[in-house]
Structure 1
């Protein structure tokens, strides 16, 4: 690793931990790739959640988290799977582009904003499960499995019985570290996909673009055996630097579940503010 990273990384490390360097300790003079930030745990506790926030500084090659062990545990990807699902759909030409129309058949759906005709881009942002189930069935088990292997996306368990549910139910798993690794390879054009697909996806994934930063990502929410699990994954481009994040949280007892969709995002934004990545 280049020596000019040394000073700023040590400064950030000590500012996060509150410790001062001791010249007599060898470990204080070693660049640390995993830094525990206790303030991230405080953020999670303050909103009555359990879980971990993982942040990766691409240029510094440094990970920050409140709980690195939890960040290595696999969970169902839920709607964060719409990122690879969209990539595979475009690569196989199951979906032509981000303006491809999905017609609503008039049947009642779980969310009101799913009860309309949606173009692919809006289906992604509205996280339309029925739309993406249709996409997965059209892709089929063979192509889905082959592409997931090529993309090296987590540990998905796909067969003919679960082709339109495997990311929401069952034994499929991906960890926060794996989410960040996948997004990093996608961002750096290291996935075995066409430039056209990459360009469409990077455009589709933008959630916020302002004078300070551009944030791209996807949320997810699964319920397994009565247990709720929420995701928010993505990356932030700020002042010529890029940071990746993967938040995975679960509600504590007496949590108001009406707040869950917003709180998992709010906690992530607070973490990015705490790390001075965004304002």
Structure 2
């Protein structure tokens, strides 16, 4: 009888301990009105979401926006590149996409591009070629394997579903995916992971390294811009997903605004000086 009581007490304590540990690992959310001021000064609206991994805190000016699904646009080039490498559709980051000589939307796309360069200049035709080669069945299979949800496509939309249509991803989901990539929790080869971490680098200084991917799509006929990624500094990592909207005025500044908004938010948190 004593043995049974002891066993019961031990199990109960283990249960309580496990429950406490689970509670301790839950992340908190802190609203930062300062981020709103940054966006207002840049004449845009939206949300900057930053996740402080060490302290398990999400910071944002608008958590409702950060949990809302939006077309992923060119941020989908991250999973698209992973799938291309894992399936062998693309051999390496130095694989070349041959330009066929046809006029493209941007001059920087009108040349032969390696995978690395195509990713960094966000060459849409290059990644449409990848998607067509991967095909519907393999794309669906790998997205399920990567737990990258919310993509809607078929044979007719395989090469544009991340740019238009019903595909949706939230800022919270973007950060979840990036965390799993960063901490080697995706079911992919180490080689693919290393290639991705290299081609995603945006800025590398003596103080920090900023990695990620931008995206530009439309939501309700309004320009919608993404910048997702992570910042490494002093042996710490911070994940971010910025999603903003801007009316059709002086759109030449739109790409820079996403980066400026994100970096200014990091400054408000005293992470960047």
When normalised by structure 2's length, the TM-score is 0.89
**Corresponding residue of 1:36:** 31
Contact 2:69 2:169 (C-alpha < 8 Å) held by counterparts = yes
Structure 1 Cα separation of the partners of residues 59 and 99 of structure 2? 42
Bigger radius of gyration: 2
Pairing 1:56-75 to 2, within 5 Å after superposition:
56-75=51-70
**Corresponding residue of 2:272:** 278
Pairing 1:1-279 to 2, within 5 Å after superposition:
33-224=28-219, 226-252=221-247, 255-279=249-273
Please provide the CA RMSD for this pair. 1.2
Contact 1:154 1:175 (C-alpha < 8 Å) held by counterparts = no
Q: CA 1:56–1:91 in 2, change beyond 3 Å: closer, same or farther?
A: same
Structure 2 Cα separation of the partners of residues 172 and 270 of structure 1? 29
Structure 2 Cα separation of the partners of residues 99 and 277 of structure 1? 34
Q: CA 1:212–1:116 in 2, change beyond 3 Å: closer, same or farther?
A: same
Contact 1:169 1:224 (C-alpha < 8 Å) held by counterparts = no
When normalised by structure 1's length, the TM-score is 0.87
Deviations 1:99-121 (A, max 9, x none): 00000000000000000000000
Q: Shift of the alpha carbon at 1:225?
A: 5.1
Q: Shift of the alpha carbon at 1:59?
A: 1.3
Q: Aligned to 1:122, what secondary structure does the other structure show? A: helix
Contact 2:72 2:163 (C-alpha < 8 Å) held by counterparts = yes
Q: Shift of the alpha carbon at 1:255?
A: 3.4
Q: Aligned to 1:243, what secondary structure does the other structure show? A: strand
Deviations 1:234-259 (A, max 9, x none): 0000001100000000014x632121
Contact 2:71 2:218 (C-alpha < 8 Å) held by counterparts = no
4+ aligned runs moved over 4 Å, structure 1: none
Structure 2 Cα separation of the partners of residues 193 and 146 of structure 1? 13
Contact 2:45 2:244 (C-alpha < 8 Å) held by counterparts = yes
Structure 2 unmatched runs, 5+: 1-25
How many corresponding residue pairs?
Answer: 248
Structure 2 Cα separation of the partners of residues 239 and 246 of structure 1? 21
Q: Aligned to 2:262, what secondary structure does the other structure show? A: helix
Structure 2 Cα separation of the partners of residues 111 and 32 of structure 1? 41
Structure 2 Cα separation of the partners of residues 226 and 60 of structure 1? 38
Q: Shift of the alpha carbon at 1:224?
A: 4.7
Contact 2:94 2:116 (C-alpha < 8 Å) held by counterparts = yes
